[in-house]
Structure 1
């Protein structure tokens, strides 16, 4: 297995505007992914996300409503996110007749300088994580769409 790029695609019964808000706005991101999220939703916006006591850096790369949201994460807080110290996640949103197709890719496993065993372990951990968290987005989008 290559362990270079993790890819997922889901359909969400909500508009691209609503889905963009759900995958980018820390208020909504906390509803489906981390326990805590604090960052400005703008290119270069730096902050953090937390899972329990594990707090990691989070830096917005692109925010192009309602089409694309990307960020780097897992770099040490206070460090500038780079290809060699963080993962890059890209959410691409495409309108469909019944909602939005959300494509997620995550890269950066090979760029961290880890040995093959560490790359495989991190990749497997992220596969498990995204497979758990991404299916929570449709319910959050339904709730966010209803409150608009």
Structure 2
């Protein structure tokens, strides 16, 4: 088995876990901070995420623990193996004194996927900025 890398981003939000959970599981809100989607919060549900850049991610809900943890596969098919990706994204919500700490982990980057790994690291930081704006107004 080959070694894989994981992107981890943590951010504190001044909002209750329930408010963040809605933004992570309601399709209209997901579209506002992440991508267009046909997400349904049901274990085993297969869905797609569609990026503005034209890419399509094939996903499946792998874990669903309301207001605590959500995980889904995040698979991108590409003719170039350096960009084809089979990974898992996990969102973990932990109540804090000021709101919620959100931990996002994306696992499954092969050592030869330096560009995809770097892109995911920068991308999740950007997604968290958008998520903050969505949660603040939702």
Q: State the TM bucket, normalised to the shorter chain.
A: 0.7 to 0.9
TM-score (norm 1): 0.79
Moved over 6 A (4+): none
Q: Give the equivalent residue in structure 2 for 1:81.
A: none
Q: Which sections of structure 1, spanning at least 5 residues, go unmatched? A: 77-84
Distance 1:107 1:126 in 2: 10
More strand by share: 2
Q: Which sections of structure 2, spanning at least 5 residues, go unmatched? A: 78-84
1:100 aligns with 2:133: no
TM-score (norm 2): 0.85
List per-residue Cα deviations over 1:75-131 (Å, max 9, x = no partner): 45xxxxxxxx62101110011121100011110112xxxx62xx1111011112112
Structure 1 contact 15–95 (Cα < 8 Å) conserved: yes
Equivalent residues, number: 129
Q: Secondary structure at the match of 1:74?
A: strand
Structure 1 contact 3–123 (Cα < 8 Å) conserved: no
Q: Give the equivalent residue in structure 1 for 2:82.
A: none
Tell me the CA shift for residue 133 of structure 1: 1.2
Q: Give the equivalent residue in structure 2 for 1:28.
A: 29
